[in-house]
Amino acid sequence: MQKTQEQQETCEFPGLAGDPAEVDKWVSKIAKKFEARSQYLIPILQFIQAEAGFLAPDAMRAASQYLKVPASKVYGVASFYAQFYFEPRGKNTVTICRGTACHVRGSARLVDELSKHLGIDAGGTTQDMLITMETVACVGACALAPLVVINGSAHGRQTPTSLKKLADGIRGGSKPIAPKAVPVKDTETKPRPVKKVSKKKTVPKGTAKSAVKKKAVKKKAVKKKAVKKKAKRKPVKKIAKKTKTARKLRRKR
Ligand code: FES
C-alpha cells in the first residue's frame, strides 16, 4: 500500500513514537501561541522546552504535525542547536569550565571529584533530578579560574571541597551562594604608582643643553668681531668713478 503525501512528508523515526492524546494536547498548546508557519519552528521548539524542560518526543511530533514539516526536519533543527535538550534536565545546572586557564588551574580534578560525589558523568543528571552537571569551554572569566557556573551565577577559584559544598547546598534546598568578590592579586591589574615630576628643571653643567648655550655665545662673539672688522675698512673712493663718468659725458658732447 502506498503512503499518502502527508505520511511521506511527516516521516517517522525512532524515539518519536508517542501517545496521540499527548500529541493533540501539545498541538492545541502550540496553536494558541503560534501561527502554522514553518518559520516559527525554532520559537515553537523554545516554547516546548520552556514548558517541558526538554524537547519531549510527543511535543516534537506535535510541532511537525502543526507546521506540516517532516519530523526529520524538526529533529534536524533541534539537534543542530546546543540550546535544545532531548532528555529531562535537573532543576539546577552546574557547569564546570574546562577552558585552558581553568584546565591549568585544576578544572579536570573538579569534574572528577564532582562526578564521584554525585554519581554522574558530565552531561548527566542526578536521580533526584536536582543537579545536571555539564562542562563548557571558557566562560570568559579566566581570571577567576577554575570557574564553576551554577544556575547562571559564577563561582570563581573553586576547589573540589568548595564545589562539593556548593553541590550539597543545592541538594539540601539552599540556594546557590552568590559569587563573592574575589580580590585580584595580579600585579598587572594594580594601578602603577605615578611618578612625581618637578616642574622646574635645572640643567646640570656639562649636559647637552649647557653645551648648546656655550655654542650660541661663541657665535655671537664671532659675529660681533666680523661687524667691527667691517667698520674698520676704509670707505671706497667714489671720486674716481665720478671723474670717469664726467669724462664720458664730455666726450659725448
Ligand atoms: S578558561 Fe575558564 S573561564 Fe576562561
Domains held by the chain: number: 3
199 belongs to a structural domain: no
* 128 and 160 belong to one structural domain: yes
Residue-by-residue pLDDT tens, the chain, 253 positions: 344 454 444 444 445 557 889 999 999 999 999 999 999 999 999 999 999 989 999 999 999 999 999 999 999 999 999 889 998 889 899 999 999 999 999 999 999 999 999 999 999 999 999 999 999 999 999 999 999 999 989 999 999 999 999 999 988 865 555 545 444 444 444 555 666 655 555 555 555 666 777 888 888 888 888 888 877 766 555 555 566 777 777 777 6
* 42 and 97 belong to one structural domain: no
pTM of the model: 0.55
215 belongs to a structural domain: yes
Domain boundary pick from 56, 80, 104: 80
Give the residue whose CA is nearest to atom 1 of ligand 1. Answer: 99
Q: Taking the C-alpha atoms of 181, 185, 187 and 191 in order, what is their torsion angle to the nearest 10 degrees?
A: 40
99 lines ligand 1 (CB under 6 A): yes
19 belongs to a structural domain: yes
201 belongs to a structural domain: no
Q: Give the CATH number of the domain where residue 123 resides.
A: 3.40.30.10
**Which conformational region is residue 12 in: left (phi greater than 0), alpha (psi within -120 to 50 degrees), or beta?**
beta
So what's the pLDDT on residue 62? Answer: 94
Task: Report d(CA 89, CA 136) in Å as an integer.
Answer: 16
Mutate to test the pocket of ligand 1, among 142, 157, 182 (most ligand atoms within 8 A of CB): 142
125 belongs to a structural domain: yes
Q: What is the domain range of residue 101?
A: 92-171
So what's the pLDDT on residue 195? Answer: 64
- The CA angle 205-208-209, to the nearest 5 degrees, is 75
Task: Please report, for residues 94, 144, 154, 173, 220, the alpha-carbon distance to residue 179 in angstroms, rounded to integers and kept in the order given.
Answer: 14, 11, 6, 18, 74
